[in-house]
Each structure stands twice: as C-alpha cells, then as structure tokens.
Amino acid sequence: MINPVKAGWFLEQIDRALKAGTLVVEEYELSNQDVKGLPDQGPDAPIWFEARIQALDFRVDDEAVVLWVASNISERHDLEVKLRELSETDQLTGLFNRRKLERDLALQYETFVRHAAPSAVLMFDLDNLKKINDSCGHHVGDEVLQAVADICRSELRKTDTACRFGGDEFVIVLPNTEYPQAVQFAERLRGLFRAELSRFSVEDVVATTSIGVTAMIPADCSYEDTLRRADYALYEAKDRGKDRVVGA
C-alpha cells in the first residue's frame, strides 16, 4: 500500500524497535502521494503522526512483531513550526535573528571543515541612520531597516541566510560561495541599498551601507573567527569613509 521509499522508512523503524527491545518514538508525515492508488487530490499539507513502536514479547507465525500506535499530531506540529519560526525571526524586519545565524554558521563551518565547501560572510550596517532617526523619528528609521530587509529577500538565494544581528547591523551567509564572488555580490548589494535608501535622505544626509566581506579559511578554529574577521572588515569600511565594501 505504501510507496517504496516511505515503506523502507517504516521497515527501518520496525527493525530499530525489534533490536532495541524498548519503546521507540518517531514523528513522520504522510500524504496521498505516499500511498499507492490514491488520487492526486487531497489535503494541501501532509498529515503528521507520532508513532510509538514497541517490540512485543511474543511471536506471530514464528516472526518477531511490534505494536505500532500512530497519533495524528498535525495541529501540534504546525504550532511547533510557528513557534520555532517566531523564535528565529526578527520581529521588525522579518529576517532571521542572531540565534538562527549562529546555528547556521555552526553548520556551515562543520561543512567547510569536513568537505572544504566554501562559505562567505557579509557583515554590514547602515551609515547615518542615527541622523535620520533624530531628524525624522524612529518610525522612519524602522522603514529604512525594513527596506534593507526587502532587498535582502529579493536578492538572496534560498540557500543564503540574512539575519539582523542587532540594531542596524546585519549578517549574510553565502554557502558554496568563494571570496571573490562574495565581494562582487557585496558591491552589487551596496549599490542597490544606496539607490533604494536615497528616498530616506534628509538634506545632505543619505542612508548608505558599509560592508565587510570574508570567507571561511583553514586557519579558522570556529565560525566565530570568520565572524570576527567580517566585523573587522566592516569597521575598516567605516573608518575609510563609509559607503564601501572592504574584504578581509
């Protein structure tokens, strides 16, 4: 009744329970595409179940058996997903927050160490935002931050991660990206920011971005080393006059 891939997963869980001899608890999803003979029409989202799998202390037709009890947990699962999204999302910009960034960077560093997969990091903040806040109010400053977030969402790949690091500081993680390509992307992004944020200018004060760029290198002992280097490059960009990209 079940398609081969999903059936193989079920058999793996049964085997686990038989070998362990203790209760095995797993969450899984099922959709109409997993079941043979069902039409394509059906619920838009898969149904989530919690399986409680227990090896029994007797045999049936001389075969070891388990008791598999499945409970529909779709409502609970949806709530958990929403809560996780809220815990990882910056409320103002809708980008990810620092907690999500640190988790993703840790994974990227592990992939870099194990497989030498390149990964680049951009750190940037907004030039002159305080002057705009003081002149126009913090609600305009919030609009500037939201405009930056909108550009990030429109320009990044699905595999990239954009986070509000804190205040007016942002970090972008670019997996599978070499340092030269990251610098080119940062320059393009800086131009887009400048063009969009010009509408928030006050007299001769324009909101721009200073961007620091780096990539993971073998000398890095952790993702924190990469992040610190990006932070150093950012402040170099500020010291050199703002509205520029500096690599490290």
Q: Residue 115 and residue 155: Cα distance in Å, rounded?
A: 27
Catalytic residues: 168
What b-and-e string marks burial along 60-99, b requiring 16 or more CB atoms within 10 Å of the CB? Answer: eeeeeebeeeeeebeeebeeeeeeeeeebbbeebebbbee
Quote helix, strand, coil % in the chain, to nearest 5: 45, 30, 25
Q: Residue 12 and residue 66: Cα distance in Å, rounded?
A: 12
* Helix intervals (H) in 54-128: 74-87, 98-115
Q: Residue 87 and residue 108: Cα distance in Å, rounded?
A: 20
Is 164 strand, coil or helix?
A: strand
* Residue 77: both structure tokens together: 């699962």
